[in-house]
Chain A
Amino acid sequence: MASVVPLKEKKLLEVKLGELPSWILMRDFTPSGIAGAFQRGYYRYYNKYVNVKKGSIAGLSMVLAAYVFLNYCRSYKELKHERLRKYH
């Protein structure tokens, strides 16, 4: 069989549960590493849903839905008081 793949180069779904903390600690947390992560994530979404031959409204709507959800999370503290409950 081929030699064992070192921990650093494994993808997330191939990492065993016990190795997870050391895998996370090995990731690149420098500013350029984080910027690279955001860029890779952006292009992954863009190339899958927007940059296709027959893109639909779903590509844009998913982004807007996530935006609405994040804003809801942000203002949950104030919205909590407007629930229909007997005791607040």
Chain B
Amino acid sequence: MNENLFTSFITPVILGLPLVTLIVLFPSLLFPTSNRLVSNRFVTLQQWMLQLVSKQMMSIHNSKGQTWALMLMSLILFIGSTNLLGLLPHSFTPTTQLSMNLGMAIPLWAGAVITGFRNKTKASLAHFLPQGTPTPLIPMLVIIETISLFIQPMALAVRLTANITAGHLLIHLIGGATLALMSISTTTALITFTILILLTILEFAVAMIQAYVFTLLVSLYLHDNT
């Protein structure tokens, strides 16, 4: 039971070759491009959705922040599609790997912070001290604000990893419990099955929400710094 529970999180390697590269690249197949004015239903739906999300997310930024629109939109598409594909049976979700999420969070956060430092040095340094603090508290507060700044990328990465991994683990466990209970008591198995259905609906929501939260926070860090 112990080994079975975590085998779905092992990075797939076939004959020593990294199969995980193909799995990470797979969602790009599901987003075809089209240069036509009126394209097929699939592409039209995706373009409509993308326009909705980009308008909602990029409207708060000034012109300097809006240069990040492509980056943030591809980020939310990638995380959303990878999370949703991970809900298919037997599939591998790259966003359960902390290494991948750190690789997404740290460069984006660092880019936002360094942009702020280079272009508006005084304003970004001023973020370390909230307005109106009593003078004796200042040194301690600066330390606390620095810690809270440096924890942002870690929190971004760990939040995504933990949410998706926990969801997958719960589905595995409750699914196994349903199967095991089937021969013992059908009523309990039915109750467990209902819980499984509700959990799966939750996981669909979580998949999309986590993508949204990740991108929203990066955009917030950007807004502070442009």
Q: Does B14 contact A (CB under 8 A)?
A: yes
Interface residues of A in 25-70 (CB under 8 A from B): 42, 46, 50-55, 59-60, 63-64, 67-68
B residues apposed to A, CB below 8 Å? 4, 7-8, 12, 14, 19, 26, 29-30, 32, 39-42, 85, 88-92
Query: Are B40 and A52 interface neighbours, CB within 8 A?
Result: yes
Q: Which of B8, B26, B29, B40 has the most CB of A within 10 A?
A: B40
- Are A78 and B4 closer than 8 Å at their CB atoms? yes
Question: What's the nearest-Cβ distance from chain A to residue B127, in Å?
Answer: 44
30 A-B pairs with C-beta separation under 8 A? A42-B29, A50-B32, A50-B40, A51-B32, A51-B40, A53-B40, A54-B41, A55-B41, A55-B42, A59-B42, A63-B29, A63-B30, A64-B88, A67-B26, A67-B85, A67-B88, A68-B88, A68-B89, A68-B90, A71-B88, A71-B89, A71-B92, A72-B89, A74-B14, A74-B90, A75-B7, A75-B8, A78-B7, A79-B90, A81-B4
Chain B CB within 8 A of A19 CB: no
Nearest chain A CB to B139 CB, angstrom units: 54
Which residues from 74 to 88 on chain A have a C-beta closer than 8 Å to any C-beta of chain B?
74-75, 78-79, 81-82
Contacts of A79 in B (CB 8 A): 90
- In Å, the complex CA distance between A86 and B142 comes to 65
Contact among A51, A60, A68, A81 for B30, CB-based, below 8 A: A60
How many Å from the CB of A87 to the closest CB on chain B? 18
Interface residues on A, range: 20 to 34
Contacts of A64 in B (CB 8 A): 85, 88
| Residues of B with C-beta under 8 A to A68 | 88-91
Q: Give Cα A59 to B41, complex, Å.
A: 11
Residues of the B chain whose Cβ atoms lie less than 8 Å from the Cβ of A81: 4
The answer to whether A67 touches B91, judged by C-beta atoms less than 8 angstroms apart, is: yes
B38 CB to nearest A CB, Å: 10
Q: How far is the CB of B143 from chain A (nearest CB, A)?
A: 48
- State whether A50 and B42 are in contact (beta carbons under 8 Å apart), knowing that A75-B8, A78-B7, A82-B4 are contacts in the complex: yes
> Are B19 and A55 closer than 8 Å at their CB atoms?
no
| 12 additional A-B residue pairs with CB within 8 Å, beyond A50-B40, A54-B41, A55-B41 | A46-B32, A51-B39, A63-B29, A63-B30, A68-B90, A71-B90, A72-B89, A74-B12, A74-B14, A75-B7, A78-B7, A79-B90
